[in-house]
Structure 1
Amino acid sequence: MDVTETMMGKGREAIDLIVDPQGFTENTVGSKTFDDPEFGPGAVVGTGLLNGQTCTIIASDGNAFNEKFPVVYAGIIGMEEGYKMAQAVYASLEADADKPIAQKRPLVLIVDTPGNGPGKTEEIFGMNKATGAYQLALAEARLAGHPIVAMVIGRAISGAFLCHGLQADNILSLDANFGTMIHVMPLTSVSRIIRKDLETLQELSKGNPVFAAGPRFFFALGGVEELVTAIDGMRPAIIAHIESIRQAKLAGKQDSLGPWGRGALGAERGGRVVRPELIALMNAEFAAVASQYAPAR
């Protein structure tokens, strides 16, 4: 792969490329102001204008370093970053609580993260709760009608991508020739966990998107709705997806979006063909015993 240009580590630069000129106000979302510059410096949050429309921007800053937590650097999402991002989402929900779906502000997630910061201190104080709170906040915003688009510009890896990206309605990614990386875990870790030799997994990864990494394989799995082939194509692609997401929500087609929609998309693209068969089998098995249990209240 010949990488001639990359956006890795350029989360702030990506904001300027995506929003309207001088259209980003950092550290203000709705009525909430983030006034502590030392809190979660790896998380960039604020309000932007995108094609004249107010939106919330949440980005990873690959050049930030959290001095309180030595494992939080280079775009890693740590405990403070997770809470800061969650607060930005809830501030968006509060600001538009009384607005109809057609007027709910979009949330644009700019993704460039190599993972979470699992240091001992973070684990003790509750990093998992912080990142879980952010994931829950995005799910609530998505179901409340806010269009959410994730734009992968560099790295989208492991649990950090789980909270910062996978709850979006649509996920876009710069193509692989920009050095973009998407994976749950490296094959070396997969090998240790499932007790398969690395050579076997490397051979499987050549044709099986379940074992492979990268935006093109995730596209085949339905995990990425669109591959963006030019850096200056990010802005128009995001604008187009916001509009299509909003129209789907207005039409009551919520299930065509988000994680559920990407599962169906993967089957259409031939990357997750077993998934619908397993879902049908599980539904049939549940239906066979459902009468034995009290109905849900």
Structure 2
Amino acid sequence: MDWKKLADTLFPQGHAIVEQNDFLCGSAQVDGQALAVIGTTGHTPIGVEIALAQAKAILRTVREFPGMPILMLIDTQGQRLRHRDEMLGINSYMAHLGKCVDLARRKGHKIIGLVYDQALSGGFITSGLMADASYALPDATIRVMGLPAMARITKVSEERLTELAQSNPVFAPGPENYLRMGGLEAIWEGDLTAHLRTALAAVPDGDQRSALGLQRGGRRWAQPVIEAVMTDGHVRVD
């Protein structure tokens, strides 16, 4: 979905979001409540410039608008794969962005991630997966790695990976599979403003992704391992 159409749908009361070089930044209103909007568009890869721009926008929100909710609109093909970015330490820039998101949360800002088009690898990890809760539109594309690339890296045939993806969401792309694994809180269909209103009203209760993955049957061992580490260190295999 085009970000402008999305913004008009999400914010019928109006918004002041601007785009500059595939970076989105601005503010909007939901039922009279102001929120900051930060994101990307155009399937842009996250290089050092956009990572810094997002971090700067988050820190400015923390400094100038204490407690204001932050909506992260996500459309990225992931980390920019250029020699220049690697030499500059793109991993550190992305880590800095993640730390800024965490700082905002610790300062009382509710952070919501919305994948409205594409979310791949590190570009999603340091934005939507750092949020208090992440959501997606039904037609969004979410994956860590495409199956052809995964086949080349793992030396497992693409046919076998495709077969595994039928029963194991870890291997499969798409919002439904990330919903099963607990990476997404919900998939938004219908009235997007109502969904956003509900998300803003929800009270954060820590990181529930592993528990949701277990409950939904898409990630069966993460939560038992966490509980074992927190107790006696033994994982029971039934």
Q: Tell me the CA shift for residue 263 of structure 1.
A: 1.5
TM-score with structure 2 length normalisation?
A: 0.90
Letter in 1 for 2:152: R
Aligned length: 233
Q: Deviations over 1:70-108 (max 9, x none)?
A: xxxx422221111000111111111244xxxxxx21101
1:122 pairs with 74, 80, 85, which one? 85
Give yes or no for contact 1:23–1:48 (8 Å, CA) kept in 2.
yes
Q: After the TM superposition, which residues 154-233 of structure 1 pair with which residues of structure 2 at under 5 Å, given as runs?
A: 154-175=117-138, 178=139, 180-230=140-190, 233=191
Percent of aligned pairs with the same residue?
27
CA distance in 2, matches of 1:131, 1:79: 8
2:195 pairs with 227, 231, 237, which one? 237
Determine whether 1:140 maps to 2:112. no
Structure 1 stretches lacking a partner, 5+ long: 1-6, 28-36, 63-73, 98-103, 287-297
Letter in 1 for 2:186: E
Q: Tell me the CA shift for residue 25 of structure 1.
A: 5.1
Correspondence for 1:12: 4
| SS of residue paired to 2:217 | coil
Give yes or no for contact 1:113–1:155 (8 Å, CA) kept in 2.
yes
CA distance in 2, matches of 1:281, 1:193: 32
Give yes or no for contact 1:14–1:110 (8 Å, CA) kept in 2.
no
Letter in 1 for 2:51: G
Correspondence for 1:81: 50
Correspondence for 2:75: 112
| Greater Cα radius of gyration, structure 1 or 2 | 1
Give yes or no for contact 2:45–2:123 (8 Å, CA) kept in 1.
yes
**In proportion to residue count, which structure has more strand?**
2
Correspondence for 1:268: 215
**What is the root-mean-square deviation in Å for CA atoms of aligned residues?**
2.0
Give yes or no for contact 1:106–1:147 (8 Å, CA) kept in 2.
yes
TM-score with structure 1 length normalisation?
A: 0.73
Determine whether 1:54 maps to 2:14. no
